[in-house]
Amino acid sequence: MKKEVERTRLTVGGNLNDYPGDVSTKTADLTTAKILFNSGVSTPDAKFMGIDQKNFYLNTPMERYKYTRLPINIIPGKIILQYNLLPLVHNGYVYMEIRQGMYGLPQAGILANQLLAKCLTIHGYAPTVHTPGLWKHHTRPILFSLVVNDFGIKYVGKQHADHIFHALEQHYEAATDWEGKLYCGLTLQWDYKARTVNISMPGYVAAALHQFQHAPPRQQCHAPSLWNQPNYGAKVQLPGPVDHTSKMTQDQTKLCQQVVGKFLFYARAVDATMLHTLNSLSAAQTKGTQRTVAALVHLLNYCATHPNVKIRYHASGMILHIHSDTSYLSKSKARSRAGGHHYLSNQPSPQPPPPNGPILNIAKILRHVMSSTVEAKLGALFLNAKEGTVLRTTLEEMGHPQPATPLQTDNSTANGISNGTCKQRRSRAINMRFYWVRDQTQQGHFNVFWVLAEPGGTARN
């Protein structure tokens, strides 16, 4: 809750100001934050807190001054009299020189970030080499992710948390959240005794449904996607009937785009079950039909039925595990879909590792047409291994060394190609990039293995 309930801010027209230098800043992404939450409950005696810097973009010194103007008729009379502005009016405007950071300036973000980095470096903090927005102290057991001016801090010992707070307090006004309840829109519930943390976004779905004026469904909906009834008893499942329904109207297209944009972050943050549907809706935004509208309404009904989803992270050995899967020729134009489930658990062993909440889920349509199920499986392994390489780097920079990451597939041939244990003949025409998985396996970065689900629900290698 902001202390200043009523306030007015001036914003510079950033689209009318040019800045010759770089204006992009490195910030932590959602996956980095989730790994940090896992590290918080998995490290003995560790705790999590948040720090929010106030007026971060304001008053940053600028070497290159900018200029702007304000219409005199929008300035309150009290301000005009206080600063004697009438003699400065020219053609109805007051012209000003900007010497310090303001909202709207293209360079305001990077200048504020550079000043913050300089202040943190003095006190022994430095960003990691490969993970954007991840910072560590040279000697203290403290680690934090930085998103603009929001700090998510994992620390062992309150004296170390006090150290970073006092370091920031020397240069900025900062607000602290010692219980670590909120970070970048995520609500966190920490249980340090049970060593668990729940992440959620309460009220987000309700506000979105109110925005779209979607009434609650008469019957509860427990799946985000429409169900396609299989042809029971058939050896080959044929694709569904051709969609001959009319195209979406302009208003329906706009609604589809708004729903996808609204729920994409929510799906990536807490409810990964939506990713499959959102991916399909986004692919059909410009050429959708009334069947697309039906899928959209079905998704909103699902959101109304399950408005407050939570993810729970348990303490683990912080070892990355990946499950990869594919649906072959399940999309239009003979395309296939790739999926992946990335989570943190214990060291690989003969027994399946304990499950944990996901740090990353993948639901993508493979861009190219796959010539066989095996090639589609390899395509999914390729996508998941690429994401896993980034996660391995982040985990190691957080201080959690990684063995060869277990990468599970349910196709024995894809497993044999990835490990180089099968002789290829007709499969030699597989897309060249997919052989990158074999190279990573040979270098010891991944351990691709095959698990076949038995009818009884168990699994065997």
Domain-embedded: residue 4:
no
> Letter for the amino acid at 251?
D
Domain-embedded: residue 235:
no
Residue 452 to residue 408: CA distance in whole angstroms = 10
Domain-embedded: residue 134:
yes
Question: What end-to-end distance do the CA atoms of the chain give, in Å?
Answer: 53
Domain-embedded: residue 76:
yes
Domain-embedded: residue 196:
yes
User: What is the pLDDT, as a whole number, of residue 228?
Assistant: 74
Domain-embedded: residue 5:
no
User: What is the pLDDT, as a whole number, of residue 3?
Assistant: 64
Residues 219 and 76 in one domain: no
Contact 410, 460 (CB under 8 A): no
Residue 412 to residue 373: CA distance in whole angstroms = 11
> Which residues constitute the domain of residue 77?
61-100
Residues 68 and 193 in one domain: no
User: What is the pLDDT, as a whole number, of residue 453?
Assistant: 57
Predicted model pTM: 0.89
Residues 45 and 189 in one domain: yes
Residues 336 and 391 in one domain: yes
User: What is the pLDDT, as a whole number, of residue 263?
Assistant: 95
DSSP 189-248: EEETTTTEEEEE-TTHHHHHHHHTTPPPPSS----SS------TT-SS-PPPPP--SPBP
Burial classification of residue 41, based on how many CB atoms lie within 10 Å of its CB (0-12 exposed, 13-18 middle, 19 or more buried): buried
User: What element of type H or E holds 55?
Assistant: none
Domain-embedded: residue 236:
no
Residues 250 and 364 in one domain: no
Last residue within a domain, chosen from 250, 271, 305: 305
CATH number of the domain where residue 428 is located: 3.30.420.10
Residue 168 to residue 116: CA distance in whole angstroms = 8
> For the chain, how big is the Rg over CA atoms in Å?
26
| Three-state DSSP state, 321 | strand
Domain-embedded: residue 125:
yes
Q: Provide the phi-psi class of 56: left if phi over 0, else alpha when psi is between -120 and 50, else beta.
A: alpha
Name, in order, each residue with C-beta under 8 angstroms of 444's C-beta and a sequence gap of 6 or more.
404
User: What is the pLDDT, as a whole number, of residue 2?
Assistant: 56
Residue pLDDT tens, the chain, 461 long: 456 667 777 788 877 778 888 888 888 999 999 999 999 999 999 999 999 988 888 888 888 898 888 999 989 899 999 999 999 999 999 998 999 988 888 888 899 999 999 999 999 999 999 999 999 999 999 999 999 889 999 999 999 999 999 998 888 888 899 999 999 899 999 999 999 999 999 999 999 999 999 999 989 999 998 877 777 777 766 666 777 788 999 999 999 999 999 999 999 999 999 999 999 899 888 888 898 999 999 999 999 999 999 999 999 999 999 999 998 877 777 788 899 999 999 998 878 889 999 999 999 988 888 888 888 899 999 999 999 999 999 999 999 999 999 999 998 888 888 888 887 776 666 777 888 999 999 999 999 999 875 544 444 44
Residues 188 and 259 in one domain: no
Half-sphere exposure of 60 (CA within 13 A, CB side): 24
Residue 41 to residue 347: CA distance in whole angstroms = 17
User: What is the pLDDT, as a whole number, of residue 237?
Assistant: 60
